[in-house]
Amino acid sequence: MSDPSPALSHLDAAGAARMVDVGHKPVQTRVATAEGELVCQPATIALLRDRALPKGDVIAAARLAGILAAKRTDELIPLCHGLPLDSVAVDFAVLDDRIRITATTRTAARTGVEMEALVAVSIAGLTLYDMMKAVDKTMVLGAVRVTAKEKI
């Protein structure tokens, strides 16, 4: 590698962190989807199904926390740009030993929205964790990753 890495785009030639200039990139519709999962005890899921899911507030709280966090991604991730999100959707699949979380974000902007989707999944997952932590000390948030990203 004889040439200064262009790849770590958040570092300038001297290695200092910077917010990458996106001014020359076109405004385009950009969509990203991220997923993750909160692995729980099966008994926790059973309790959730029995007590919490009928009323809906647990899932609704996690969904809203994810949506709100996505909108504040640039305050949380230091080098992210502030983007006007056209939509954010956060969905949940309650499986026997885990809850799968999927977030899709969309913008018309000069840079992509995968960080927004990842933030939504992570904060939605931690909100579930918070509401179930009194009954399950073994939960693990994992498999948080981007599953789709496109420019339209």
Q: Which of residues 115-134 bind a second copy (CB under 8 A)?
A: 115, 118-119, 122-123, 126-127, 129-134
Identify the active-site residue in 12, 86, 130, 136. Answer: 130
- 40 forms part of the interface with a second copy (CB under 8 A): no
Tell me if 45 contacts a second copy by CB under 8 A.
no
**Closer residue to a second copy in complex, CB, 96/103:** 103
Footprint (CB under 8 A) of a second copy, residues 47-86: 47-48, 50-52, 54-61, 63-65, 67-69, 71-72, 74-86
Binding-residue total with a second copy (CB under 8 A): 88
Task: Give the shortest CB-96-to-a second copy separation in angstroms.
Answer: 18
Kindly state the DSSP code that residue 15 receives in the 8-state scheme: S
How many whole angstroms separate alpha carbon 29 and alpha carbon 109?
Answer: 7
- Residues sharing a CB contact under 8 Å with residue 66, sequence separation 6 or more, in sequence order: 88, 90, 101, 103, 119, 120, 121, 123, 124, 127
Q: CB 66 → a second copy: shortest distance, Å? A: 10
Does the protein bind a second copy through residue 93 (CB under 8 A)? no
Question: Residue 90 — φ and ψ, nearest 5°?
Answer: -125, 125
Task: Tell me how far the alpha carbon of residue 81 is from its chain's centroid.
Answer: 15
Going by their DSSP bridges, the two strands 98-109 and 28-39 should be labelled as: antiparallel
Q: Which residues are catalytic?
A: 130
